[in-house]
Structure 1
Amino acid sequence: MQRPRLIASDVDGTLLDPMARVTGRTARVIARVIASDTPFVLVTGRPPRWIAPVADETGLDGYAVCSNGAVLYDIGSERVLTTHGLDPMVLHDVTHALERALPGIRVAAERASTTAMTVPEFVTEHGYRNPWGDEHGVTAAPRAEVLGHPATKLLVRHDGMSSAELVAVAREVLDHAVDVTFSTDLGLIEFSARGVTKASGLADVCDRFDLPARDVIAFGDMPNDIEMLRWVGHGVAMANAHPEALAAADEVAAPNSEDGVAQVLERWF
């Protein structure tokens, strides 16, 4: 690939090291990218409220594609620019269909808005356990409340199954009515509106810069990165990536424990 005109990177398991830190080597190459006026876009399953720590460590203040493509966020202005959500009817239908096939599931919802929020950004039903640990001040509510407002992402948890097993069942039951993926194999799957992926979110950013996909390099490590890795001109999976992400990539970089993103970008920056 020639020198990329836009860089897109997943965050956890990719840009961050195994201790969820930005290493000095990675920070230095990002600084050189910024100095070259090449856009560096975070493309993540994280919601906007989890972007600030990464932005602080990297010096990034441009766009972040959040919630697997459902939210476009302006880091510098701390403003949500666009959202693509699931309405309450869809949330109820998906949950009820999965409950019949997978008794014992628990659900949570991520929400975002281009205007002031009047409901909690993240709400879980009672009994939902976050595989990354519970957030401080998280709102727990009855399932009807979780599903009663538009959401950018529906999260479904089942302690007795892996994420891959859950996805297989969900795809059979729901027949592509919504997009489903996962970013951890700890029994958690994530639903977005149909057609909403990291690739669609990144495409929106590229349109804003008037850049074609062939001029973009992207880095990722999990199944929620697959569409993005296939869409860009050069998709790079980390050596620590899920097998499906590895299969989707044009190149396999060193693992995130060895500054894999930085090693690749140092070819040009």
Structure 2
Amino acid sequence: MTNPRNRARPFDLVVLDLDGTILDLYHHKPISAAVQTAIAAVQAAGIPVTIATGRTLDYVRAHIAHLNITTPVVTTQGAVVGDPLTGKILYEADIPLPLARQAMAWIDAHPYITAVYFLDDDGHIVIYQNRRGPEPDFYAHVFGEVRAIQPRFADLVSGDDARPPLKFILVEDESSAGVDLVGDLRGLFSPGLNITRTHPRLVEGTAQGIDKGVGVLRLCERLGIDPGRALAIGDSDNDIPILQAVGFGVAMGNATPGVMAAAQWVAPPIEEDGAAVALRELVLTPMGIGQ
């Protein structure tokens, strides 16, 4: 009898978004047992699994250690590819300093609560927030661990020895009602910056040509994997470039309309373990592997 695990693999790589896809921190829920089991089964079948997220490498390492993922992960909106085991940075893409100075000056002149991300000499992300606000728990969740409050971001990028940032995140509030913040920032800084919405209230900026899809393509090149043989699952607009970069894109049932339009398959929402369902239906079952 033929071993079902020897059947042809439908994919050579599985790429998973984090928040809203396998991690539901907005409802204070960890990665579910069903998703953990599905990921373990995919890896046991010889198919590498990775993460592609806007979160930092340190954040990812803290939240996926129990998943035994050894494949490099795409983090910080594609600006950083790193080793989830050692924390070593394998690739980074900074915002050019002249453009970063323009962006920081604009942020300093506007009321949005904002965080800016830098890489320090030890390869760790350092996060600065420009001011405190009325939603400290929300800021802590979406930004990560902030090192300090820095009222003037321009000071962080001034001087000849300034370190360029990797990305920034702006939080929309009542002051942005009726404002097309994504459109405004693109009008000001494109094509120099890649501006994308990552949450109904979050707008992020990275260097031109840097997004999660580009990060996945760089990872595939590093691994010697044809991106056309990769499967990706996501839920937010910043996942659209991933779904467009790989051979098969899956939208979560809780995904935005843009993600739905870019996907070839729609999984149940995160509350129903949609990522686990997708992995079973699209990866494990075709290989004859049950759970």
TM-score, L = length of structure 2? 0.82
Matched residue, 1:181: 196
* 1:173-212 correspondence to structure 2 within 5 Å: 173-186=188-201, 188-212=202-226
Q: Aligned-pair distance for 1:157?
A: 3.0
The SS at the match of 2:128 is strand
Of 46-55 and 224-233, more deviation after overlay is shown by 46-55
2:30 match:
21
Contact 2:251 2:263 in 1 (8 A): yes
| Displacement after TM superposition at 1:264 (Å) | 1.1
Instruction: Indicate how the Cα distance of structure 1 residues 264 and 25 shifts in structure 2: closer, same or farther if over 3 A, else same.
Output: same
Corresponding position of 2:12: 5
Does the CA contact (< 8 Å) of 2:128 and 2:146 recur in 1? no
SS of residue paired to 1:13: coil
How far apart in 1 are the matches of 2:36 and 2:64? 11
SS in 1 for 2:21: helix
129-138 or 205-214, which deviates more: 129-138
The 10-residue stretch of structure 1 (67-76 or 127-136) with the greater mean CA deviation from structure 2: 127-136
Do 2:234 and 2:250's aligned partners in 1 also have CA atoms closer than 8 Å?
yes
SS of equivalent residue, structure 1 residue 264 = helix
2:184 is aligned with 1:169: yes
Corresponding position of 1:156 = 170
In 1, the alpha carbon distance for the partners of 2:179 and 2:199 equals: 9
Residue among 125, 141, 150 paired with 2:130: 125
Q: Secondary structure at the match of 1:22?
A: coil
Counterpart among 35, 56, 68 of residue 77 in structure 2:
68
What secondary structure, in the 3-state scheme, does the structure 1 residue paired with 2:15 have? Answer: strand
Q: Which has the larger radius of gyration?
A: 2
Contact 1:98–1:173 at 8 Å: present in 2 too? Answer: no
Distance (Å, rounded) in 1 between the aligned partners of 2:211 and 2:255:
18
- Give the gaps of 5 or more residues in structure 2: 1-8, 285-291
**Secondary structure of residue in 2 paired with 1:154:** strand
Alpha-carbon distance, 1:120 to partner: 6.8
User: Secondary structure of the residue that 2:115 maps to in structure 1?
Assistant: strand
**Distance of 1:236 and 1:207 partners within structure 2:** 22
The superposition leaves residues 187-206 of structure 1 with CA deviations (integer Å, 9 ceiling, x where unpaired) of x2111100001111101111
Question: Would the aligned equivalents of 2:13 and 2:230 in 1 still touch at CA under 8 Å?
Answer: yes
> Residues of 2 paired with 1:47 and 1:99: CA distance?
23
1:24-78 residue CA offsets vs partner (Å, 9 max, x unmatched): 1111111112212211110000011111232123222321100110000101112
| Aligned mates of 1:59, 1:162 — CA distance in 2 | 43
The aligned residue for residue 52 of structure 2 is: 43
List gaps (5 residues or longer) in structure 1. none
Matched ranges for 1:238-253 at <5 A: 238-253=252-267
For the 8 Å contact 2:129–2:146, the answer to whether it is kept is no
Which amino acid counterpart does residue 184 of structure 1 have in structure 2? H
Structure 1 distance, partners of 2:210, 2:146, is: 29
Shift of 1:233: 0.4
The alpha carbon displacement at 1:248 in A equals 1.5
Match runs of 1:55-94 below 5 Å: 55-94=64-103
Identity %: 25
Q: Distance in 1 between matches of 2:178 and 2:269?
A: 22
Judge conservation of contact 2:112–2:170 (CA < 8 Å) in 1. yes
Check if 1:217 corresponds to 2:231: yes
- After superposition, the CA RMSD in angstroms is 2.5
Question: Are the equivalent residues in 2 in contact too, given 1:98–1:170 (CA < 8 A)?
Answer: no
Change over 3 Å in CA distance of 1:19–1:137 after alignment to 2:
closer
Distance 2:78 2:45 in 1: 26
Shift of 1:130: 6.4
Offset from partner CA, 1:206-226 (integer Å, 9 cap, x none):
112211121000011111111
